[in-house]
């Protein structure tokens, strides 16, 4: 179990969003922390009202995929429908990445369109011309039966990508002792990246070699991220998820649109139109192995998951009457 980053050190890597906006020296400090530590926590990127709205969108997304009448346990389904965010049963897994159109649901797009989050990436990339990624949603309520063994990795390969990439996760619930959260190895994007690359064939998910695991386990820390904050990191940083308990969070990545080709744009648009999830990349078309195995399309439009019947339809709010992606969403990709 990784310890939490000590509060004194957490304070050194945390910056309030408002200070980034109002104070040019904080904005350069933000970039400096990111460049030295490989990650930074931006607090209060969302207001209390925006957090509440985001949680409401997630409730609507979950309600939208439920079919109470066709569910084996109608009574449980009707009861969960009242407050799905806080009562969703762990015996109804939503998939990893989330299925049923949820990666393109109302919550995902509410967060992707938030101007404060976008602003942080504008600073990092030094441009306002950005395109957004299409990644999943992180939602869990209870610890799984077993904690996954450490899986420190970088989301990058130097033989495949030649620009810097930064990814983030926006937290919509506070991190507590028994929460799922992000684990990072501070500074490893500088100190260990080359060794990780040497150990991996070119792929965008590169795990650390076995020989590095003891050092990783001794130095990696869990991050305590308050709701409304985001952790932003360099994709070369060794990190992983600590999936152990409650979390509602949205991965967000913006990259300069100049790096995204027309072909990638088209593939991203089709993916979103089909309600599927990409990995974090915004300028590159890349999907999770499980999604690729399905040809990047939904396998079934409805499925019984435990006692619930669920439909693949949380993404339908994005489509016009002809079933095409609405222009204002397509333009952000």
Helix, strand or coil for residue 196?
helix
Q: Which long-range contacts (CB under 8 A, 24 or more apart) does 297-300 make?
A: 298/99, 298/101, 298/274
241 is a site residue for ligand AKG (CB under 6 A): yes
Site map 9..48 versus ligand AKG, x via CB under 6 A: ----------------------------------------
Angstrom distance (rounded) from CA 46 to CA 42: 10
Give the E-state strand segments of 19-161 in sequence order: 39-43, 66-67, 130-132, 138-140, 153-154
Question: Least distance from C-beta 246 to ligand AKG, angstroms?
Answer: 13
- 289: burial class by Cβ within 10 Å (0-12, 13-18, 19+)? exposed
The residue (of 77 and 232) whose beta carbon lies closer to ligand AKG is 232
253 is a site residue for ligand AKG (CB under 6 A): no
Site map 44..83 versus ligand AKG, x via CB under 6 A: ----------------------------------------
* Spatial CA neighbour of 208 closest among 182, 160, 240, 164: 240
Question: Least distance from C-beta 138 to ligand AKG, angstroms?
Answer: 6
The residue (of 105 and 251) whose beta carbon lies closer to ligand AKG is 251
Among 179, 240, 274, 277, binds ligand AKG (CB under 6 A): 240
Stretch of 43-51, 139-147, 235-243, 259-267 contacting ligand AKG, by CB under 6 A: 235-243
298 is a site residue for ligand AKG (CB under 6 A): no
Please report which helix (H) or strand (E) contains residue 151, including its range.
none
Among 155, 206, 229, 268, binds ligand AKG (CB under 6 A): 155
The residue (of 64 and 230) whose beta carbon lies closer to ligand AKG is 230
236 is a site residue for ligand AKG (CB under 6 A): no
The residue (of 40 and 76) whose beta carbon lies closer to ligand AKG is 40
Question: Rule CB under 6 A: which of 111-140 touch ligand AKG?
Answer: 138
- Given the DSSP bridges, would you call strands 221-222 and 181-184 parallel, antiparallel or unpaired? antiparallel
* Spatial CA neighbour of 97 closest among 317, 251, 315: 251
251 is a site residue for ligand AKG (CB under 6 A): yes
Among 125, 239, 246, 309, binds ligand AKG (CB under 6 A): 239
Adjacent-strand bridge partners of 168 = 232, 252
Angle 111-57-175 from CA coordinates, rounded to 5°: 65
Angstrom distance (rounded) from CA 152 to CA 222: 12
HEC letters along 36-52: HHCEEEEECCCCHHHHH
Please report which helix (H) or strand (E) contains residue 314, including its range.
none
255 is a site residue for ligand AKG (CB under 6 A): no
Q: What is the DSSP letter of 120?
A: H
169 is a site residue for ligand AKG (CB under 6 A): yes
182 is a site residue for ligand AKG (CB under 6 A): yes
Give the number of residues written for the chain. 333
The residue (of 251 and 298) whose beta carbon lies closer to ligand AKG is 251
The residue (of 71 and 277) whose beta carbon lies closer to ligand AKG is 277
Angstrom distance (rounded) from CA 326 to CA 207: 37
168 is a site residue for ligand AKG (CB under 6 A): no
Question: Least distance from C-beta 26 to ligand AKG, angstroms?
Answer: 25
Residue least distant from ligand AKG (Cβ): 241
Binding site for ligand AKG (CB under 6 A): 138, 155, 169, 182, 239-241, 251, 280
């Amino acid at each position: 179990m990784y310890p939490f980053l000590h509060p004194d050190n957490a304070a050194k890597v945390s910056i309030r969003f408002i200070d980034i906006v109002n104070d040019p020296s904080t904005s350069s400090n933000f970039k400096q922390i990111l460049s030295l530590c490989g990650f930074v926590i931006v607090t209060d990127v969302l207001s209390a009202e925006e957090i509440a709205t985001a949680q409401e969108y997630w409730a609507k997304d979950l309600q939208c995929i439920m079919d109470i009448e066709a569910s084996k346990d109608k009574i449980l389904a009707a009861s969960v429908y009242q407050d799905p965010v806080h009562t969703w049963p762990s015996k109804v897994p939503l998939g990893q990445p989330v299925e049923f159109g949820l990666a393109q649901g109302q919550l995902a797009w509410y967060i992707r369109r938030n101007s404060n989050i976008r602003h942080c990436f504008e600073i990092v990339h030094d441009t306002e011309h950005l395109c957004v990624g299409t990644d999943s949603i992180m939602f869990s309520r209870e610890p799984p039966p077993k904690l996954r063994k450490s899986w420190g990795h970088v989301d990058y390969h130097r033989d495949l990508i030649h620009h810097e990439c930064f990814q983030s996760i926006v937290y919509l619930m506070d991190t507590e002792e028994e929460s799922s959260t992000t684990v990072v190895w501070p500074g490893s994007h500088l100190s260990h990246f080359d060794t990780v690359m040497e150990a991996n064939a070119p792929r965008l998910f590169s795990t650390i070699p076995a020989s590095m695991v003891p050092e990783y386990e001794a130095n990696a820390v869990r991050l305590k991220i308050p709701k409304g904050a985001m952790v932003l990191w360099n994709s070369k940083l060794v990190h992983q998820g600590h999936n152990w308990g409650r979390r509602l969070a949205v991965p967000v990545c913006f990259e300069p649109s100049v790096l995204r080709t027309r072909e990638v744009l088209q593939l991203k648009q089709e993916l979103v139109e089909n309600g599927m999830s990409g990995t974090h990349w915004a300028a590159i078309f890349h999907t999770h192995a499980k999604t690729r195995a399905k040809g990047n399309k939904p396998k079934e439009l409805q499925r019984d998951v435990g006692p619930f019947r669920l439909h693949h339809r949380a993404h339908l709010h994005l489509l016009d009457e002809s079933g095409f992606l609405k222009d204002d969403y397509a333009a952000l990709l």
